[in-house]
Amino acid sequence: MAIGQVFTPLPLARRVLDRVTARPLRILDPACGTGNFLRAAAERWPGAELVGFESDPAVAGIARQWLAVTIGSQAAGPGSRIEVRDALKCDVHPGFDLVCGNPPYAAAYRDPGDRAAIRQGHVTARGSFDMAVPFVERAVRWLAPGGWLALVVTNKLLVKDYAGPLRGWLLETVAIREIWDLAAVEVFEGAQVDAAVILAQRAEPGAIRIVLADKRHGQHEYRLDRSTWIQGAKSDQDVAGGRTASGPRRWEVYVTPTIAPVIERIRGPALGRLPGIAVRDGIQGRHYHEIPIEEGHPGGLPIVGVGRIEPGRIAWDKPLKRGGVLYRDPRLRVQGAFRTYCERPKVLIRGVARRVTAVYSQVPLVPLTAVRSIVFGTSGQLATVGRSQIDPRQLVSWLNSDLVSFLLQARCRGDRVPRGSFNISKRWLEELPVPPEPHVLSPDEQNAIREWLAAFGV
């Protein structure tokens, strides 16, 4: 692995290309690394023209060594070559029958100047996009009519907001044939990457095959009717169903046919649409690490980080470490509108955790960056939901329930962070349904959830 590169294991490349049903004559890997995808292509389609782009000259040299042998054995056709070039900066000439590979992930690979230029040249590069986004767009643009796309990518592209424009563009530009999510298995040895595979074609659309690796190294699969997939992916009417108004819905492949009916029955208004409350993040901004924390200052408000949030209680005895300093009673002096926000009653939620963990507090306090807040008005009372009044403590009980943590895993299984935790985002909380009455699971629903958790749960 060099400069952030993670090379695709040859067995995975072979397995992915086995699903391409055509015989491609011209094959491109726009970020070929040492060339395992092209090797697998040479094995499967001897005589095809193999083209690889690689920005690292040393890595490109490794790929050229085996390609020379492959050309000599006539397993690679005329015109086969490895070029030292940046795929995001070269011209795009459609005409390849297969574009395959494992494009780089993570925004850190480019400086701000590069990112500005990439935004101008790609319709899908919006917001704080991952570098995989423009690579996928370019890969599609290299395809000839009928050509195949076969990419190993981060599974964040299936769910992250920054990839919403890419998901919408793909649905309009190519026929999605298969989506694999491999988060339950280690794809790249020694690298914490939750991988996915996207197989698509510039051709007439059809059913979409979903493949999920499970925790026991087994495989689950199901098929989706394309019209159902498109309708769900673009709808913004059913917020409780996980759809958003900001763009194409997350491709929530872990909502399998066995548990989809269970989730559909968990109905109620979305938390973010309830009157009298607002869902907010804690202290944000580039310089939040520089906030002037003071030990025990009588004029400051106590600070709550994720480590102090436990189910139903705030662990005030837990210290806060910041900048090498350990604070036993960390406080922050605030004023103005921010102080008004801090003084309101609120439910605090750990923003990064394996399960939803919430506590209600009427004490004025300052939530730190990874803490989500459900802020109440001065009455501290939720409006009527259905025929029931739901007070903050009932809401905390719902948030801390096993059922909500299951919803988190099913909806956000592709949005994990290292060590198995989830990003419990403001957006997800705003869309969480709040049933008017406690939801009671039937025995069949309990069994469906139990089996799902055994296969995919964290």
Report whether pLDDT(450) > 50.
yes
What confidence score (pLDDT) does residue 453 get?
93
Spatial contact of 122 and 162, defined as CB atoms under 8 Å apart: no
Instruction: Quote the pTM value.
Output: 0.85
Q: Does domain 271-456 have CATH number 3.90.220.10?
A: yes
Three-class secondary structure of residue 218 per DSSP:
coil
Q: How far apart are CA 200 and CA 189, in angstroms?
A: 27
Better-scored residue on pLDDT, 48 or 378: 48
Find where tokens 């926000």 sit: 341
CA 411 to chain centre: 10
Q: Which of 173, 160, 86 lies closest to 123 in space, CA to CA? A: 173
Q: How far apart are CA 86 and CA 118, in angstroms?
A: 12
What confidence score (pLDDT) does residue 412 get?
85
What token pair was written down for 434?
């709040």
**Residue percentage of the chain with pLDDT more than 90:** 57
Report whether pLDDT(287) > 60.
no
Greatest extent of the chain over all pairs of C-alpha atoms, in Å: 79
pLDDT tens-digit readout, 293-308: 999 999 899 999 999 9
Q: How far apart are CA 98 and CA 106, in angstroms?
A: 24
What confidence score (pLDDT) does residue 236 get?
37
What confidence score (pLDDT) does residue 240 get?
33
Spatial contact of 29 and 60, defined as CB atoms under 8 Å apart: no
Domain range summary for the chain, segments of one domain joined by +: 10-205, 271-456
Q: How far apart are CA 93 and CA 141, in angstroms?
A: 8
The mean pLDDT value for 447-453 works out to 95
Q: Specify the length of the chain in residues.
A: 458
CA-CA distances (angstroms) from residue 449 to 182, 256, 259, 268, 321? 20, 11, 7, 20, 38
Mean pLDDT of the chain: 86
Q: Does domain 10-205 have CATH number 3.40.50.150?
A: yes
What confidence score (pLDDT) does residue 374 get?
93
Report whether pLDDT(244) > 80.
no
Q: Which of 432, 304, 416, 408 lies closest to 356 in space, CA to CA? A: 408
Q: How far apart are CA 171 and CA 279, in angstroms?
A: 31
What confidence score (pLDDT) does residue 237 get?
36
Find where tokens 């499970």 sit: 214
Per DSSP, what are the bridge partners of residue 240?
none
Which range is most confident: 181-185, 363-367, 382-386? 363-367
How many degrees, rounded to 5, is the angle at CA 331 between CA 328 and CA 335? 175
What confidence score (pLDDT) does residue 384 get?
54
pLDDT tens-digit readout, 113-136: 678 888 888 999 988 888 899 999
Report whether pLDDT(7) > 70.
yes
Flag the least confident range among 26-30, 268-272, 411-415, 437-441: 411-415
What token pair was written down for 410?
């099913």
Count helices and strands in the chain by DSSP H and E runs: 13, 25
pLDDT tens-digit readout, 134-144: 999 999 999 99
What confidence score (pLDDT) does residue 1 get?
36
Better-scored residue on pLDDT, 107 or 292: 292
What confidence score (pLDDT) does residue 288 get?
64
Q: How far apart are CA 248 and CA 245, in angstroms?
A: 8
Flag the least confident range among 82-96, 258-272, 326-340, 404-418: 404-418
CA-CA distances (angstroms) from residue 31 to 35, 262, 344? 9, 41, 51
Q: How far apart are CA 190 and CA 192, in angstroms?
A: 7
Three-class secondary structure of residue 257 per DSSP:
coil
Q: Are strands 96-101 and 143-154 parallel, antiparallel or unpaired?
A: parallel
Q: How far apart are CA 80 and CA 24, in angstroms?
A: 14
What confidence score (pLDDT) does residue 246 get?
37
Three-class secondary structure of residue 421 per DSSP:
coil
pLDDT tens-digit readout, 9-55: 899 999 999 999 999 999 999 999 999 999 999 999 999 999 999 99
Q: How far apart are CA 398 and CA 443, in angstroms?
A: 20
Better-scored residue on pLDDT, 26 or 368: 26
